[in-house]
Structure 1
């Protein structure tokens, strides 16, 4: 019995193209993706093998030549089906940059980012454009003009083949209602649906409206509010375990990791009146 092939995974980036990043995976059958979301547009070109793609309530089997389409905020997962080595290029594209290339018709009301209704595409030009961009990012000998041209061609293909719809932008007043709701209910296990109800908008509009107006997603703002409360409690000398529980964290370890990630200091260090050694 032959040994399984080793997974190869690389993240391809270039300082001249900050608007895109590609994860290039070969023999990725051992990878396991839980359902998650991104704050940008994502497009996955399946280069080999087959996989099961879940997005929202739908599940689709995709194979070599297919492209999966993921809008910002879409809960999704893609995992290999057995039989053949699974390879793909997953493109992450800045939504603001893409929006500038998918303009709404003249005279239309101001809208937010473009949204794609299709979950997959079998368009050969789109698949090839993603792989070609990946090849260019992988090479160290491409000119600025070539790299930028690959991106612009890809954006044109996305617009012309997937025909994005535009969602209405959320008014600052409605966003403020959602922000105030977060500030009042930060200790609760809040749902995105509840915030959308307060803001009178859809999930993607809410997430991107928060990013535009406040510089962070609703979830990031909720964590920030909890950390602020935790800092106040720690300054009072409260026990770390009780602070973690009272401030809405799953457990003390989760609180410690989050606190250190945001403040570059442990809760114990912050709580102490004596500076820790360098």
Structure 2
């Protein structure tokens, strides 16, 4: 089954491990449904912090080296694999290539829903509406907003990421990331409201983006589109909470997986299963592939 792509079988064998078990009844039922009828299951995944380790510079993020091989194998077994991310779809695909050359674009039937579901990558093509006018106005206003805090120690290191249809203010490089977040939260919220944008908090980042859609909306729409019978979603950040809620709201047997970190405890509290960061997510997916392949 895995020999069609060189080395996949060997790499999965080397990652062999028991399938982790959910800690909730709902999660156990979701996992059982996925194993019983994988051809009817949708596997949803965040990118940063879930498939790719968090780094100081988002442009330096790269997918876990074993993830593409595992996802190629998984894509052959389930109804669909979907990446739901705040990133633009183009960067998710670009940064989703492993050192050996295998990447997300090789995953059978993969769909990437970027910018919280506004953009869609499928069959190597991107579809998206034009960005809202408020993004251009916020783009002009943000540098002055940050500079207005003057010579406070935390200002140095705060930087703005332009995602095209969204803008993210990062504080991870600041001398005091938490103080920077606290100081910027209210003025950024006011700026977003003034220009009709939504505020998306994250791990040492506050993003101003298109309103009216979140990862939960994107996931629910995709589940309906594919007539899914079960669902799993793995994420690591506050923006993934709506997707966790969507797993339950779908009415399907479902499993919510937290890619655990010390930075976002609330996600672990809402999860059916917590694994150890992106490496733990990849091991879980590999174990899922192995178990499905052996399932009668």
Q: TM-score band, normalised by the shorter chain? A: under 0.3
- Which structure has the larger Rg over C-alpha atoms? 1
TM-score by length of 1: 0.27
> Which has the higher relative contact order, 1 or 2, with Cα contacts under 8 A spaced 6 or more apart?
2
